[in-house]
Chain A
């Protein structure tokens, strides 16, 4: 059991509503800054970010909201933020092991009563309840309910049962699709598929969870859903990615970046050897056929630079973030609000390492993306 090293949360990206993401002066933060969530402080355990506000959850069970809404509440085991609803999983009011699932209007600032509440049964003790280690947070996390028999959705119906044969371990929601990882490492997807985000090779919608056949035989450890794209990380550290690539969020060449001249190409860390930016021109000019990919309807294997293994992934609306086994953070996709953490507003269609953590000798342990921003938990490296 590794000893607890001092760690902290960092944030970068959109904070136009004043959500805690650093100094709090600007509408955007382009490079990681320590998160200031004073009431929660060093006890910060989980972050759930919506577009206009962020919910901070401490080990001691306190939730603090920051941004377009404020407010705090005690006795929280989990929190999940969306524009329409803030979902809290709180200790049951009576005796016994039950818990209460609550849906709040974000603007209520957690005063008064929730819009909806229901007692939920917990399965056997969860390993990662408050007090557990920060990086062990993949099991039964909202929007998946602790019993794993149902999940919550920001759109009605709020409470959605899952078929009993799906032994769900993790569930993620995109703008119009859902991803599910089961106990055996299999991935299912359903919902809208117009941008290939379901991964079944078509643009058709699926009403019910459908198994990703392309990944059969490859047990997955993590899944993450962006607005219209999907990522999963295998137990062996490989990344599979599919869906919409309009801002390069699949790390595949995208026309929009080539035409804007904003894409930066070069070595793994993003600069050519002499440190200058190299603009990628549209392939059409050189006569070769352009191999731009707008939509990838079935999983593609993505290699990180230097052959690094991935262990964690999280997606924003149109960007992707991945943590490697050695504690590096790579980001790519839409970067207009600084959500990639590369000190500028460039979008990237290839994985780029966030140098801040390397420079500060920090080892990244976890990442959690809001739609247009990114929160990172990192610990000091052993010397």
Chain B
């Protein structure tokens, strides 16, 4: 068996199958499932059988068994609220996906084999939980490396054209004159930030914090396509998650870009609130975690990092988050309107359980019901390296905007948000049921 560093060097030449096998324990006895006693005995037995079949070289039987394991655990993942799903079922699902990927890559296969295997691997990452020291991340890296050698990059000309076209068109931007802007500070000390903004829960824009991050220089639609094009991600379709037509769908990043970012998208598609950097560690290398995130209660492990990637015109309905958020806009501009918690009644929160932290107020008209606005961060972003700190005690609605001098609806802004989260992710009305 090859040593791990040696293996990554050869990933380009050694067939995918061997590279994957090198990740596994050598014998089936060493393969520790480590599943809890409370799991259904039948599925644990089937999983053990599937593992034995794989090590015994009985690939087609193993594949059959893995399919059944994935399908059965998928049903468990879809039973009850996502946050109540027993983590062990997610681990079973991940094991099922792992075995399926291994089986798919055992046979020589054709050009479609590795993308299909990568899709299964991504399902395991999206809906499963960590197994065998995050083996699925390593599997994804191997499969992706194999694919990127063969895939041509999309023409950069298309992106430039879209941007140029956008600049020419007139865009509407909310009139900010009568609104108060949120204060801006340049790299305040941690203590100052804590005393004057974190504790009293006052929003602020921190300048100059993220301007040295690699993403500011490196990221473009083409770059994202190269790094992550073949990866499967969840995309929200429909203008707002409060709409009846709103839905979630899985697709590769390439598909998402070509259908909903570039060209003239017919519908709105939004890669929203997805822990993209856990799924694709290569992108994580381009960002940092600001020191300000470490203030406050909770452990560093509670910090969740989400990504938002979408076309202009995406609007998140007015909502409230239980956690402190730091928002960094990498490409493009965002307009955010804030209301104080004191205005909650005037903001008509939905009465349903799923949407109780989301307002029913539709368009964010200036003549809205709630009259006392908090100081507004207004449009910010576009590679400035500004960090917007949003406290938990505000209602916020981020909207993509354009202006005559800025990238307008046809552009492709991206944004990365760092959230300080105490327990689970924000439950702002998106149903966290796993996608089919």
Q: Of all chain A residues, which has the CB nearest B45?
A: A68
Distance between A82 CB and nearest chain B CB, rounded to angstroms: 10
Bound Cα distance A187, B75 (Å)? 26
The digit string for B298-337, where 1 denotes a CB below 8 A from any CB of A, is 0000000000000000000000000000000000000000
Q: How far is the CA of A278 from the CA of B431 in the complex (A)?
A: 35
State whether B247 touches A294 (Cβ < 8 A). yes
Q: Are A203 and B354 in contact (CB under 8 A)?
A: yes
Q: Which of A175, A204, A336 contacts B75 (CB 8 A)?
A: A175
A83 with B40: in contact, given A192-B80, A202-B352 (CB under 8 Å)? yes
Say yes or no: is A51 at the interface (Cβ < 8 Å to chain B): yes
A16 touches B64 (CB 8 A): yes
Residue contact B46 to A228, C-beta cutoff 8 Å: no
Interchain CB contact under 8 A, B75 and A176: no
**CB-based nearest A residue for B82:** A194
Give the contacts of B341-360 with A (CB-CB under 8 A). Answer: 352-354
**Contacting pair B42 A256 (CB below 8 A):** no
A228/B78 in contact, CB under 8 A: yes
Whether B80 pairs with A317 at a CB distance below 8 angstroms is no
The B405-434 residues at the A interface (CB cut-off 8 A) are 431, 433
| CB of B371 closer than 8 Å to a CB of A | no
Contacts of B78 in A (CB 8 A): 175, 228
**B40 pairs with A227, CB closer than 8 A:** no
Enumerate chain B residues within 8 angstroms of A228, measured Cβ to Cβ: 78
Residues from chain A with Cβ under 8 Å of B364 in the complex: none
Asked if B436 and A51 sit within 8 Å, CB to CB, the answer is no
The answer to whether A51 and B42 have CB atoms under 8 Å apart is yes
> Are A204 and B353 in contact (CB-based, < 8 A)?
yes
In whole angstroms, what is the CA distance A107 to B68 when docked? 20
B41 within 8 A of A: yes
Cα distance A135–B343 in the bound complex, in angstroms: 62
Min Cβ gap A178→B in Å is 14
Tell whether B71 is near chain A: CB-to-CB under 8 Å: yes
Out of A16, A246, A256, name the residue touching B68 (CB < 8 Å).
Answer: A16
How far is A106 from B346 in the complex, measured between Cα atoms in Å? Answer: 55
In the assembled complex, the CB of B105 is this many whole angstroms from the nearest CB of chain A, namely: 22
Is residue A52 contacting chain B, with contact meaning CB distance below 8 A? yes
Residues of A within 8 A of B72 (CB): 51
Question: Given the complex of chains A and B, what is the CA–CA distance between A246 and B80 in angstroms?
Answer: 16
**Are A16 and B80 closer than 8 Å at their CB atoms?**
no
B75 touches A246 (CB 8 A): no
Is B79 a contact of A175 with CB atoms below 8 Å?
Answer: yes
Q: Is the CB of B436 within 8 A of A16?
A: no
Contact A17 B79 (CB under 8 A): no
CB nearest neighbor in B for A203: B354
Question: Does A298 have its Cβ within 8 Å of any Cβ on chain B?
Answer: no
**B45, B80, B352: which contacts A203 (Cβ < 8 A)?**
B352
**Cα(A194)–Cα(B433), bound, Å:** 9
B121 in the interface (beta carbon within 8 A):
no
- A14 on the B face (CB < 8 A): yes
Interface residues on B, range: 20 to 34
A84 within 8 A of B: yes
Chain B residue numbers with a CB within 8 Å of A14 are 68
A16-B64, A256-B436, A294-B247 are known contacts. Are A194 and B431 too (CB-CB below 8 A)?
yes
**Interface check B65, CB cutoff 8 A:** yes
Nearest-CB residue, chain A, relative to B247: A294
Residues of A within 8 A of B (CB-CB), count: 29
A160 interfacial contact with B, CB 8 Å: no
Interface string of A3-45 (1 = CB under 8 A from B): 0000000000010110000000001000000000000000000
> Residue on A with the closest CB to B353?
A204
A-facing residues in B16-49 (Cβ within 8 Å): 40-43, 45-46
Interface contact B75-A227, CB-CB below 8 Å: yes
Assess the A68–B42 pair: CB atoms within 8 A. yes
How many angstroms between the C-alpha atoms of A126 and B119 in the bound complex? 54
Minimum distance in angstroms from A189 CB to a CB of chain B: 16
Closest chain A residue to B354, Cβ basis: A203
| Docked CA distance A27–B354 (Å) | 40
**Distance to closest chain B CB from A133 (angstroms):** 33
Q: Once the chains bind, are A16 and B65 in contact (CB under 8 Å)?
A: yes
Set of chain B residues within 8 Å of A203, measured between Cβ atoms: 352, 354
- Among residues of A, the one whose C-beta sits closest to the C-beta of B79 is A175
Q: Which of B41, B352, B433 has the most CB of A within 10 A?
A: B41
Q: Within residues 156 to 183 of chain A, which ones have a CB less than 8 A from any CB in chain B?
A: 175-176
Chain B residues contacting A16 (CB-CB under 8 Å) are 46, 64-65, 68
Query: CB-CB contacts of A76-119 with B at 8 A, as 1s and 0s?
Result: 00000001100000000000000000000011000000000000
Residues of B within 8 A of A84 (CB): 40
Please name all residues of chain A whose beta carbon is closer than 8 Å to the beta carbon of B42 when the two chains form the complex. 17, 51-53, 68, 83, 106
Chain B neighbourhood of A192, CB < 8 A: 79-80
Q: How far is the CA of A204 from the CA of B40 in the complex (A)?
A: 28
CA distance in complex: A163, B433 (Å): 32
CB interface residues, B 37-95, toward A, < 8 Å: 40-43, 45-46, 64-65, 67-68, 71-72, 75, 78-81
- Chain B residues near A294 (CB, 8 Å)? 247
Considering the complex, give the chain B residue whose CB is closest to the CB of A371: B75
Compute how far the CA of A51 lies from the CA of B80 in the bound complex, rounded to whole angstroms: 19
Point out the residues of chain B lying under 8 angstroms from A204, CB to CB.
Answer: 352-353
Q: Is the CB of B79 within 8 A of A176?
A: yes
A41–chain B nearest beta-carbon distance, Å: 26
Minimum CB–CB distance for B354 against chain A, Å: 7
Task: For residue A295, give the distance in angstroms from its CB to the closest CB of chain B.
Answer: 10
Contact across chains for B80 and A27 when beta carbons are under 8 A apart: no
Residues of chain A within 8 A (CB-CB) of B431 are 194
Q: Which of A16, A176, A371 has the most CB of B within 10 A?
A: A16
Interface pair A246/B436, CB less than 8 Å apart: yes
Would you give the 0/1 interface string for A244-288, flagging 1 where the beta carbon is closer than 8 Å to chain B?
A: 001000000000100000000000000000000000000000000
A107 and B39 CA atoms in complex are apart in Å by: 13
Task: Select from chain A the residue with minimum beta-carbon distance to B351.
Answer: A204
Contact A107 B79 (CB under 8 A): no
Complex contacts, B352 vs chain A, CB 8 Å: 202-204
Name the residue of chain B whose CB is nearest to the CB of A53: B42
Q: How far is the CA of A372 from the CA of B69 in the complex (A)?
A: 13
What CA separation (Å) do A372 and B431 show in the bound complex?
Answer: 26
A256-B436, A294-B247 as given contacts; A336 in contact with B71, CB under 8 Å? yes
CB neighbours (8 Å) of B64 from chain A are: 16, 27
Give the docked Cα–Cα distance between A68 and B49 (Å). Answer: 12
Q: How far is the CA of A106 from the CA of B81 in the complex (A)?
A: 27
Cβ–Cβ contact A317 & B436, under 8 A: no
- In the bound complex, what is the Cα–Cα distance between A106 and B436 (angstroms)? 30
Which A residues are CB-close (under 8 A) to B67? 336
- Bound CA span A175–B79, Å: 6
**Residues from chain B with Cβ under 8 Å of A175 in the complex:** 75, 78-79
A83-B40, A336-B67 given; 18 more Cβ-contact pairs under 8 Å: A14-B68, A16-B46, A51-B42, A51-B72, A52-B42, A52-B43, A68-B42, A83-B42, A175-B79, A176-B79, A192-B79, A203-B352, A204-B352, A205-B353, A246-B436, A256-B436, A294-B247, A336-B71
Q: Which 5 A-B pairs have the closest CB atoms?
A: A52-B42, A68-B42, A175-B79, A83-B40, A246-B436
Q: 11 A-B Cβ contacts within 8 A?
A: A52-B43, A52-B46, A68-B41, A84-B40, A175-B79, A176-B79, A194-B431, A204-B352, A227-B79, A228-B78, A371-B75
Interface residues of A (CB under 8 A from B): 14, 16-17, 27, 51-53, 68, 83-84, 106-107, 175-176, 192, 194, 202-205, 227-228, 246, 256, 294, 317, 336, 371-372
